[in-house]
Structure 1
């Protein structure tokens, strides 16, 4: 039976799984679950992932969710996946596990905290906590500094100084790509101090082409729409403020 991947390309972990499958020639069926339309809460999908999140996979009778676990499973279960993605060497694997655990605790809290709670949720009328993006803006630069100074130390272009990417590179770069939803100005302000991070992003894109751009096209299409809406809201808010001051 064909592997089924339940994903939303606006979701950074979904994109990581899709790119991994494509670049490694894993035959799969992509089933879209649009989280902004709350499709992850349907009874049918909750049978696959009771946590109501994407991505998830069904491989025969085997069901699995959480993107890191999915990537580890795919790299281990499917023949022909090059060793650099998830090395057989137990010490190299342990390093990958360490950065993946760090990813959820630090980088994701920063990037997702800003993008979801300050942009995606308000634009789509979803509930959000206004304190989260404020905290995330403190977490994200600290995370990028750790990425720049620790995880990317070494002579190679990828994490741990490796010469080829691992599942950790793919997961973390897809996370940072979520910042593309921000205004171009804010995106540059956040990332421009981190030269090694910027080069690593480009190196990972190149190493996973053409699938990286193909899978991220949904993000880029929505990015333009969101940026236009943000500009319109800013103009509308500014006009409203001017009129209110005149009334006073």
Structure 2
């Protein structure tokens, strides 16, 4: 059983995996302290943070001296050690395996493909001062579309959530990634009602913690729309 003195998490809420960890902690009322690491300011490359995580990435969790990196591992640790409701990461082997199946797939599909669109439409233009390359963006959107198709046909099928009848860590990781292109004003689920309904279902399950975590992304979206 984990000590309930509280944990520390190092986060930047513009980061999709950081939002997933933040939402999980808040929604499940797990005692914690947030340490903000501003990636845009290079705070992840300072000597102190590099000592904590040599990979220089967020999120990072510290629980009584136990340091853990990678959002997938952090979420599973929290779900297991802090008595989160069982539906998040089921104990029954087949149901747990379904969550693991998605999270293994997630890192080579949902995450890079949704992130690439955001990087091309928001980050690169800001960093370089150059407009988005239309041909490269079109290829990125095509790759993302293939991933969205798999999410619908393989994972959602006829069930309400990615791994069954209730929200799991899989849905949390996925929804945070699929929200990211919204920072550039692009709703990638606009033409996919099945996934859009799933997103609303996940958002309802997460309640206020969802919008609280995505506030920084909403502000970015509003700025991008104001430029149009």
TM-score over 0.5 for the alignment?
yes
The higher radius of gyration belongs to 1
For residues 94-135 of structure 1, give each alpha carbon's deviation from its aligned partner in whole angstroms, at most 9, with x where no partner exists. Answer: 1111111111111112111110133113213499x9686454
Is the 1:107–1:139 contact (alpha carbons within 8 Å) kept by the matching residues of 2?
no
For residues 10-30 of structure 1, give each alpha carbon's deviation from its aligned partner in whole angstroms, at most 9, with x where no partner exists. Answer: 111100000000111100001
Tell me what 1:90 maps to.
93
Give the Cα separation in 1 of the matches to 2:100 and 2:138.
Answer: 29
Give the Cα separation in 1 of the matches to 2:129 and 2:10.
Answer: 22
Give me the TM-score of the superposition, normalised by structure 1: 0.83
Instruction: After TM superposition, give the deviation of residue 182 of structure 1 in Å.
Output: 2.5
* Gapped regions of structure 1 (runs ≥ 5): 232-248
Give the Cα separation in 2 of the matches to 1:18 and 1:213.
Answer: 11
Give me the TM-score of the superposition, normalised by structure 2: 0.90
Give the Cα separation in 2 of the matches to 1:212 and 1:126.
Answer: 32
Is the 1:3–1:57 contact (alpha carbons within 8 Å) kept by the matching residues of 2?
yes
Is the 2:6–2:30 contact (alpha carbons within 8 Å) kept by the matching residues of 1?
no
1:91 is paired with a residue of what secondary structure?
helix
- Decide which of 205, 215, 218 is 1:217's aligned counterpart: 215
1:1-248 matched pairs, under 5 angstroms: 1-79=5-83, 81-125=84-128, 133-154=137-158, 156-160=159-163, 162-183=164-185, 186-187=186-187, 190-229=188-227, 231=228
Go from structure 1 to structure 2 and tell me whether the alpha carbon gap of 1:44 and 1:96 turns closer, same or farther (over 3 Å shift): same
Q: Whose helix fraction is larger, Structure 1's or Structure 2's?
A: 1
1:26 is paired with a residue of what secondary structure?
coil
Is the 1:84–1:165 contact (alpha carbons within 8 Å) kept by the matching residues of 2?
yes
Give the Cα separation in 1 of the matches to 2:170 and 2:136.
Answer: 25
Give the Cα separation in 2 of the matches to 1:170 and 1:200.
Answer: 11
The total of aligned residue pairs comes to 222
Give the Cα separation in 2 of the matches to 1:114 and 1:38.
Answer: 22
Q: Kindly report the root-mean-square deviation, in angstroms, between the aligned alpha carbons of the 2 structures.
A: 2.0
Give the Cα separation in 2 of the matches to 1:10 and 1:71.
Answer: 18
1:148 is paired with a residue of what secondary structure?
helix
Is the 1:21–1:28 contact (alpha carbons within 8 Å) kept by the matching residues of 2?
yes
1:6 is paired with a residue of what secondary structure?
strand
Is the 1:109–1:136 contact (alpha carbons within 8 Å) kept by the matching residues of 2?
no
Instruction: After TM superposition, give the deviation of residue 193 of structure 1 in Å.
Output: 2.9
